[in-house]
Structure 1
């Protein structure tokens, strides 16, 4: 091989190695950023959960608030169970060979109505409870009125399923 060919081969080899190192570095940095975002999404709802907020309250008030929230949740439970049952029935009807669009739509509407009844009960009970608290405790506990369901644990509870932009 001539010296000129060796120089060209060396330059191509260096360029390929630089490209490979840059690609690997970029992949590692991007992966770390994605993992950090996933961890943040998983952690955030739990840090602001109703029970985490209740733990911040004055110990004298904490037990009364817990009992009130628990009683409210138990009272609303049948509505949420009914909503789940209607939704399951709608899914089963949609997957069956005898699909009935009107029935599926009606079941989904019944599911939504039951869920809204349960949510309304929880919110009304929370508003009543907030009225019995001192201003500082009421301010801390007011966060339970944010509209968050079980989807918040997955990161899609707030903003009707829209993910916040964390870039």
Structure 2
């Protein structure tokens, strides 16, 4: 083989190999990015809220949990309405031409008390339900509350390495 043909073959081989390496790297990056996006989408699609905290329990237990929550919310309907009315009052007072700080503070205090009463009723309902569960089922409920609840319960602190 003569030297120009050998150089041409070497250049062609280098170009083909470079194309293959870049194709493999690009495909791997796209696969990694799509897997990461799919994982993020699955996490975002997970339902949130207190009513989904019992999803790991049996169907009868889930039903009892949701009925208890519904009853607690019905019992606390006056507190819920008072909290809504209080928020509307705060917005109305803040939008008034003259700001009455005392009235805003009073409306905020009433709203806060109504929110606390509502929260207390719902939390009591959850505790009452948990008292009926076996220790294993309570662990499942705790897991669901940690992942899906808006009760302000945080997952256990992770030890720092």
1:63 CA displacement: 1.9
Unaligned runs of 5+ in 1: 1-31, 150-156, 160-167
Q: Alpha carbons of 1:148 and 1:89: their partners in 2 closer, same or farther (altered >3 Å)?
A: same
- TM-score if structure 1 supplies the norm length? 0.57
The 1-side partners of 2:111 and 2:78 are apart by 12
Answer yes or no: is the 8 Å Cα contact 2:50–2:150 preserved in 1.
Answer: no
Q: Alpha carbons of 1:147 and 1:116: their partners in 2 closer, same or farther (altered >3 Å)?
A: farther
1:147 CA displacement: 6.6
Unaligned runs of 5+ in 2: 1-32, 155-161
Q: Alpha-carbon deviations, 1:36-71, whole Å to 9, x = none?
A: 6xx66x827x43533333232112322222211211
Answer yes or no: is the 8 Å Cα contact 2:49–2:150 preserved in 1.
Answer: no
The structure carrying a bigger helix percent of its residues is 1
1:158 CA displacement: 7.4
The 2-side partners of 1:53 and 1:126 are apart by 10
What's 1:77 paired with? 77
- TM-score if structure 2 supplies the norm length? 0.59
Matches within 5 A, 1:53-92: 53-92=53-92
Answer yes or no: is the 8 Å Cα contact 2:53–2:149 preserved in 1.
Answer: no
The 2-side partners of 1:43 and 1:131 are apart by 31
1:95 CA displacement: 0.7
Q: Alpha carbons of 1:158 and 1:132: their partners in 2 closer, same or farther (altered >3 Å)?
A: closer
Q: Alpha-carbon deviations, 1:71-117, whole Å to 9, x = none?
A: 11222232122112111111111111132110011101111111011
Matches within 5 A, 1:97-116: 97-116=97-116
Bigger Rg, which one: 2
Answer yes or no: is the 8 Å Cα contact 1:58–1:137 preserved in 2.
Answer: no
Q: Figure out how many residues of one structure are paired with residues of the other and give that number.
A: 117
